[in-house]
Amino acid sequence: MSERRIRVLIAKPGLDGHDRGAKIVARALRDAGMEVIYTGLHQTPEQIVETAIQEDVDIVGLSCLSGAHMTLFTQVMALLKEKDAADIIVTGGGIVPKDDIVKLKEAGIAEVFGPGTPIDEIIEYHRKAARK
Amino acid sequence: MEIVEKVLNGDKRAVARLISMIENGDQQAVKALSALHAHTGNAHIIGVTGPPGVGKSTLVDKLAKSYRELNKKIGIIAVDPSSPFTGGAILGDRVRMNDLNTDPGVFIRSMGTRGHLGGLARSTADVIKVLDAYGMDKIIVETVGAGQSEVEIASYAHTTLLVEMPGLGDDIQTIKAGIMEIGDIFVINKADRAGIDRTEAEIRTMLSLHPEEKPWLPPVMRTVAINGDGIQELRDEIEKHLDYLQSSGQMKLIGEERAREDFIHILKANVTKYIIERSMDQKKFDELLSKILSKQIDPYSAARELTDDFENSL
Ligand SMILES: Nc1nc2c(ncn2[C@@H]2O[C@H](COP(=O)(O)OP(=O)(O)O)[C@@H](O)[C@H]2O)c(=O)[nH]1
Ligand SMILES: [Mg+2]
C-alpha cells in the first residue's frame, strides 16, 4: 500500500542571477509527477547539501551558468561525502565545456544536461536514476 | 530499530528518511513511530496558515530566527499543494528560509499534499511526532489556509496563527466562513502596505461577531516579515498563549484529545485492514462485491456481514 514519490532538489549555486532554465526543469519534473524542492538563487554548497539531506531527495539538480561550476559542483560532492550522503545523485545543467563535463563526471556528477537537452530526456533520466 | 536510535541521537539523515517513509506509507514507519512514542509530547506546535502570498514563509523564517536567539530548537514543516492530476508539486517555501538551512538547531521539511493514505493531516501529525522525538522545542507547521485538510492540520497545533495582509478583501470573507475559529493569534503581515487599518478593523469586527466569553481573546498583531518588524512582539504573544494553555489546563486537555483521536484512528485503520484482508483471502470480498453490483445485496448489508463474521471469529 505504499507509494513512493521521486523527490528532486533544484538548486542554483553561485552568483549568477538567472533561474529561467532551472524553473523550466522544475515545472517539467513536477508535471511528470515528481516533488521538486526549489530554493531560489545564490545557494552555497553547504546550503544545498543541508537541504538535500533534510528533504531526503533522490536527486539534486545543480543549475549553473557561471564559470564557477567546477569548484561549486565539486564542493557539493565533497560535502555530500563528508555528511555520509554520497548516495544522493547529483546532476548538472547549464553551459559546461566538454572538457569540464569529463572532469565533473570523474568527480561523481552523474550527468550533465547541456542547453537544448530535450526535456523528456531529462524527465526520463530522473525516473530511471531514482528507481535505482 | 536502527533508524529510531539514530533519530534519538540527533541524526538528521535518519529523521529525513523516516519522514519519507511516513509520506510513502511504508509499514516500517509504523514500527519506528511506536518506538518513538515515549519520546514525544515535549514540543510546542505552532500552526501558521493563511492565503497564498501573504508572507507566511517569510514570517516563519523570521520567527524561527527569533526563537533561535532563545536557543530553542526549531522544526519546520512547510506544506504546499500537489497537483491533483499528476501528484507532482513544486515546493518553494525554502526560498524564504535560506539562511536557516545550515543552522544545526533547525530542521526544515517541505511536504506536498499528495493523495496521502489516511489523509494529509494524519501524515503531518506523524511527521510532527518525529520532529518532537528528535528534540525540537518548537515545531512550526505552515499550510495554505484554503481547504478542510489545512484546517485539520492546524487542529494539531497548540497555537494557530492566521495570517492576513492588507487589501485581500474577499479572502477575509472566506477565512471567516471556515477557519476563523481556529485562530489563536491573528497576524496582519505586510503592515508596510496601504489599507492596514481597514484590514485590522475588518478582522476585529469579525472577531466581535463571536462574542462568547472566551478565556483567551485572540490578539491582532501587525508584522512586516521582510524586515522583521513586529516579530519579537509576535513571539512574545505566542509564548503568552503557551503560558495560557499551560496554566489553564488547556494543554493537558488538548493532549488528551489528540491521544484519543490518535488511538481511535489507529484502531479503525487496523480493524478495517484486518477485515478487508481476511475477507479478500476468503474470496468473500469479491463475492459480496459482485452481488452489490448485481443488486443482490446492498453495500450496507454486505459490510454488516463482514463485521458480523469478524465478531463471530473473536
Ligand atoms: N511588502 C512586504 N512584502 C512581504 C512581506 N512579507 C513577505 N513579503 C513578500 O511577499 C511575497 C510572498 O511571501 P511568502 O513568504 O512566500 O508568502 P506565503 O505564500 O504566504 O508563504 C514575497 O515576495 C515576500 O518577499 C512584508 O511584510 N511586506
Ligand atoms: Mg509559503
If one counts every other C-beta atom within 10 angstroms of the C-beta of residue B185, the result is 21
Domain boundaries, chain B: 1-39, 40-248, 262-313
Contacts of A34 in chain B (CB under 8 A): 88
Q: How many domains does chain A have?
A: 1
Grid cell 494524519 in the structure block, residue: B122
Q: Per-residue confidence at B265, pLDDT binned at 50, 70, 90?
A: confident
Q: Tell me the backbone φ, ψ of residue B119, rounded to 5 degrees.
A: 95, 145
Of ligand 1's listed atoms, the one at least distance from the Cα of B60 is 15
Please report, to the nearest 10 degrees, the dihedral formed by the alpha carbons of residues B229, B235, B237, B240 taken in order. Answer: -160
Q: Which ligand is nearest to the CA of B111?
A: 2
CATH hierarchy code of domain B40-248: 3.40.50.300
User: What ipTM was assigned to the predicted interfaces of this complex?
Assistant: 0.93
Ligand 1 atom 9: residue of nearest CA: B55
Q: Which residues of chain A have pLDDT under 70?
A: 1-2, 15-17, 65-67, 132
Q: Residue B236 has which C-alpha cell?
A: 512574545
Is B299's C-beta closer than 6 angstroms to any atom of ligand 1?
no
Q: Strand B106-112's sheet: what is its strand order? A: B106-112, B74-80, B138-144, B44-50, B159-164, B185-188, B220-222
**Residue of B168, B183, B175, B201 lying closest to B54 (CA atoms):** B168
Residue type, A127: R
Ligand 1 atom 26: residue of nearest CA: B190
Task: Flag whether pLDDT at B154 surpasses 80.
Answer: no
Interchain contact B10–A (C-beta under 8 A): no
Residue type, B152: E
Among B54, B56, B58, which residue has the most ligand 1 atoms within 8 Å of its CB, making it the best to mutate? B58
pLDDT tens digit sequence for B26-60:
889 999 999 999 999 999 999 999 888 999 999 99
Residue A56, min C-alpha distance to chain B (Å): 5
pTM for the whole thing?
0.92
Q: Name the residue in chain A with its Cα closest to that of B273.
A: A1
Residue type, B236: D
pLDDT tens digit sequence for A106-123:
889 999 998 889 999 999
Full domain range(s) for residue A80? 7-131
How far apart are the C-alpha atoms of B172 and B188, rounded to whole Å? 11
Q: Is A2 within the bounds of a domain?
A: no
Whether residue A37 contacts residue A55, with contact meaning beta carbons closer than 8 Å, is answered with yes
Note the helical H segments in chain B.
2-8, 12-23, 27-36, 56-69, 120-133, 148-154, 170-178, 196-208, 231-248, 250-281, 284-293, 299-313
Mean pLDDT of B80-100: 91
Is B192's C-beta closer than 6 angstroms to any atom of ligand 1?
yes
Task: Flag whether pLDDT at B224 surpasses 90.
Answer: yes
User: Residue B45 contacts by C-beta under 8 Å, 6 or more apart in sequence?
Assistant: B128, B138, B139, B141, B156, B157, B158, B159
At A101 the three-state DSSP class reads helix
pLDDT at A1: 42
CATH number, domain with residue A110: 3.40.50.280
Q: Tell me the backbone φ, ψ of residue A92, rounded to 5 degrees.
A: -125, 155
Interchain contact A29–B (C-beta under 8 A): yes
pLDDT tens digit sequence for B100-127:
999 999 999 999 987 665 567 778 899 9
pLDDT tens digit sequence for B245-257:
999 999 999 999 8
